[in-house]
Amino acid sequence: MHILIAEDDHDIAELISHYLTKAGWSVHVAPTGDKALAYVRNHEVDVVILDLMLPGMSGFDVCQALRSERATANLPVLMVTARTEEHDRVKGLELGADDYISKPFSPNELVARVRAVVRRTRRADPTEQVLTLGPIEMDLSKHTVSNDGSEVKLTAKEFLLLQFFLEHRGRVLSRDRLLEDVWGYRYTGGTRTVDVHIRRLREKLPVLVEALATVKQFGYKLVDDDLP
């Protein structure tokens, strides 16, 4: 697995590189947003670890650019930043980041989160490769989602969240349960993360506005019957 680290602080970049390399992965460090984006466009990358406060092109801009291009629309992006304000976390998630970790952080936790996002991204049920809900069709083997026959671009985390709902339709799922099972660990960033991803799914797949019900002060439930 090859990981791109977009980080302008040399010491932090070296620290992250050391632990990721120790975990068995190859890494490349880009000190600016422009260089990070150029690298992804010209090399095979499995995960991007993206600092927000980059010289020139910000991490927000890099994330938005990655999500706007077909080749990188589903590339897992983990944001790492000194910013701790909720609106910054929400903005990053709304732009398509799959995860968010604030500095200072534990290098071991970062490695665990990278493992989690890769595991969840590659997860597939070999016994059922196509999941459907009304006009929505999810092909797990091709990692695609379509709505009325038109392909819909989802981030890696949106894809996995939709998959989890389709596999657990009819069940009320708490936000904490979704964070643990979809994000892959006991998440400390707050349940707002789930709400942001749900809102994005409803925007991209309008049928979910009705089909994915909010259970007040608890979580969400996907209808248990197929839609016409």
Residue-wise DSSP of 168-187: TTTSEEEHHHHHHHHHSS--
Residues 152 and 205 grouped into a single domain = yes
> Residue 157 and residue 37: Cα distance in Å, rounded?
20
Residues 81 and 184 grouped into a single domain = no
Residues 13 and 112 grouped into a single domain = yes
Q: 91 lies in a domain?
A: yes
Number of independent structural domains in the chain: 2
Total length of the chain? 228
Residues 116 and 6 grouped into a single domain = yes
| Domain containing residue 166: CATH number | 1.10.10.10
Residues 96 and 193 grouped into a single domain = no
pLDDT tens per residue across all 228 residues of the chain: 899 999 999 999 999 999 999 999 999 999 999 999 999 999 999 999 999 889 989 999 999 999 888 888 888 899 887 766 667 667 777 777 888 888 888 888 889 888 877 776 665 444 458 899 999 999 987 889 999 999 999 988 899 899 999 988 888 898 888 888 887 665 555 668 889 999 999 999 999 999 999 998 889 999 876 555
Collapsing DSSP to helix, strand or coil, 17 comes out as helix
Choose the final residue of a domain: 85, 103, 122: 122
Residues 77 and 118 grouped into a single domain = yes
Per-residue model confidence (pLDDT) at position 163: 92
Choose the final residue of a domain: 122, 153, 178: 122
Choose the final residue of a domain: 90, 122, 154: 122
Residues 23 and 114 grouped into a single domain = yes
> Residue 71 and residue 217: Cα distance in Å, rounded?
38
Q: 29 lies in a domain?
A: yes
Q: 165 lies in a domain?
A: yes
Residues 69 and 162 grouped into a single domain = no
Per-residue model confidence (pLDDT) at position 214: 93
Residues 115 and 173 grouped into a single domain = no
Tokens of 9: 């602080």
Per-residue model confidence (pLDDT) at position 47: 93
Nearest to 142 by CA among 134, 201, 178, 151: 151
Domain enclosing residue 98, as ranges: 2-122
Per-residue model confidence (pLDDT) at position 10: 93
List helix spans (H) across the chain.
10-22, 33-42, 59-68, 86-94, 107-122, 156-167, 175-183, 192-204, 208-211
Q: 228 lies in a domain?
A: no
Residues 118 and 146 grouped into a single domain = no
Residues 110 and 186 grouped into a single domain = no
Per-residue model confidence (pLDDT) at position 166: 92
Residues 107 and 185 grouped into a single domain = no
Tokens of 111: 């490695």
